[in-house]
Each structure stands twice: as C-alpha cells, then as structure tokens.
Amino acid sequence: MSEARQQKDKDYWQAVVRSADIKAKPKRILFDGTPLVLFRSAQGIAALFDRCAHRLVELSTGKVISGEIECPYHGWRYNGEGRCTAIPGHVGDVPHYRVRRYSAIERDGVVFVSAGTPQGEPYRHLVRVEVTGGKGWVESCYTGENRQQGLVSRLLEGERARTIGRYRHPGIVELEYWGKGGLALATTFHLRQADERTVEGVGWLIGPRQGLFGELKALAFRPLFAFALQQDRRVLKSASDNARIPPQVQPATGPLDFLRRDIAAIIDGKMPPAAAEPRVHQIEL
C-alpha cells in the first residue's frame, strides 16, 4: 500500500473516552495498540505517545502543571504539541526533544483521537455544492451527503446520491432528492405574492409509484412535511413582523446563501451570474 494511501486510511476520528474522564490527572489509553496519554493542555485536549523521550517512562504517571505534562522521573516537561519545554537543572535553551503528538478534539462531551490529519470535525464531512444557471433558473446541486443522512430520510428516500435545489421564474421552488436508482423524492412549490405582506403557494410532494409501500411512505412523510411547513411559516411570520420595527435594514447575505444573488437577478429580469460563471463551493455537515 502506498504511503499516501496508508496516511489517508488514518484520517478518521475515533471516540476514545468521555470528556468528564479527563480531569486534572493525565489518563493513559491504548489506541490501536499504542499507549497514549491524554491531558488538558493550554490549547485544549492533548494526546501524546505515552513515553518520555528521556528514559521512556510513562508520562501518564506524571502530573499536569500549567497545561504541560511533567515526567515523574527527572521532571522533563512537554506541551500539548509534544515538544519538551523544560529540563530541571539545565541552563540555556531546551534542546529539541519531542514525543509524538496525535490529533485530539473534544465534541459533545467526548474526546476523539486520530493518528492522521482528518479534515473537518467528528461526524462531519465536506459536501460539494455546484451552482449553475440559465435564463430564468438557477440551481444548486449537493453531492456527498449520504453519510450524513438520518434513518428517517433513508427509509423515505433510500440511499441519497445528490440533492438539487432549484429556483425558476416566476416563483417556482423545486427540491429533488436523487438516489442511486434515479429520482427518489421531489417537492415543487409555486409561490406568488398574494399582497404586499403575504406570499401564498401550492406545493406537491412527488415520489415513485411503489404500491402499498409507497402509500405507507407518503402517509409517514405527510405529518413530517406538514410540521416542517408549519415551522417555516411561524419563523417567516415572526421575521416579517420583526423586520417592520425601525430602523429598517436589508437582510444580510450569508456565505452559504449560494443562490440569493442569482434569484435576485432573475426577479429583476436579468441573467443570473451562475449562467455565465458556474460556481463550486464546499460546506461542512
């Protein structure tokens, strides 16, 4: 196996202990057969190879002092990066000694460790977002979401390969969930400005015909769908009421509002910027 491949195989996070288990004292664990010492350093949770560079004593039997771990034998100290910062009795700069450091992070009350350099956070991964457009339409296509998919949506849609969100003139919003075998689920809303303050619409939920199983899925999905719509309606009403309080300002366009400029251009009767220049973004889920 190539070195790059071997490295990639290590680029995952693994939960090792509860955060509450790492208190003032260091803790030794075995990680893939390697002893590690976990302790709270100045930069957060740290994981080092549990062996002092000096006489190979277990660092985990030492103490944590000011966010550094001190070896119990001759007192060499190491910071969270694994670099030796102090040698008792030594005059002058500390020579370059170190012990191997492992990536470590705390999330949701759990300590995760990795022997590689994983991108992103535990449970999260990168999703690619491709934005394309043309006269009167713009869409964003999300790929790489399947690992993030919950049990309910797996049951309703099957394994998800990509999701497409599309806006079409004059106020049509479409969402499509594509599985490995084709379109698994879609929604379409035709929205219109009913009066100055109200948008009304008609929507469909569309899925493949699957006989009784399809009927059951639709039955299961309907209350969830109604609940999501109700929540949306409540939030939008409260935002609309809130926006009327002076001073009146324009809402901000966030870094993940990928289609906002394009939709504004389409509403203005112009070509969306994505038509001339398709874009690719990455988001973390």
Q: How far is CA 38 from CA 62, 84, 104, in A?
A: 12, 16, 9
The reply on whether position 74 binds ligand FES by CB under 6 A is yes
Give the residue from 117, 114, 98, 115 showing the smallest Cα distance to 106. 114
Beta bridge partners of 113: 14, 104
Q: Indicate which single residue of 52, 99, 127, 156 sits in contact with ligand FES (rule: CB under 6 A).
A: 52
Q: Which stretch binds ligand FES (CB under 6 A): 37-45, 74-82, 102-110, 272-280?
A: 74-82
Give the residue from 114, 111, 103, 105 showing the smallest Cα distance to 20. 111
Give the residue from 44, 58, 60, 23 showing the smallest Cα distance to 112. 44
Identity of the residue, 37 or 52, whose beta carbon is nearer to ligand FES in the bound complex: 52
The reply on whether position 112 binds ligand FES by CB under 6 A is no
Q: Which stretch binds ligand FES (CB under 6 A): 29-37, 52-60, 96-104, 122-130?
A: 52-60
Please name the residue that has the structure tokens 């001759």. 74
Give the sheet arrangement for strand 14-18, strand by strand.
14-18, 110-114, 101-107, 44-49, 34-41, 27-31
Please state the closest distance from residue 279 (CB atom) to ligand FES, in A.
Answer: 54
The reply on whether position 39 binds ligand FES by CB under 6 A is no
Identity of the residue, 87 or 186, whose beta carbon is nearer to ligand FES in the bound complex: 87
Give the H or E element holding residue 274.
helix 273-276
Q: Indicate which single residue of 18, 23, 28, 55 sits in contact with ligand FES (rule: CB under 6 A).
A: 55
Identity of the residue, 54 or 63, whose beta carbon is nearer to ligand FES in the bound complex: 54
Counting residues that bind ligand FES (by CB under 6 A) gives 9
Q: Which stretch binds ligand FES (CB under 6 A): 34-42, 51-59, 100-108, 267-275?
A: 51-59
The reply on whether position 54 binds ligand FES by CB under 6 A is yes
The reply on whether position 48 binds ligand FES by CB under 6 A is no
Which amino acid type is present at position 31?
Answer: F
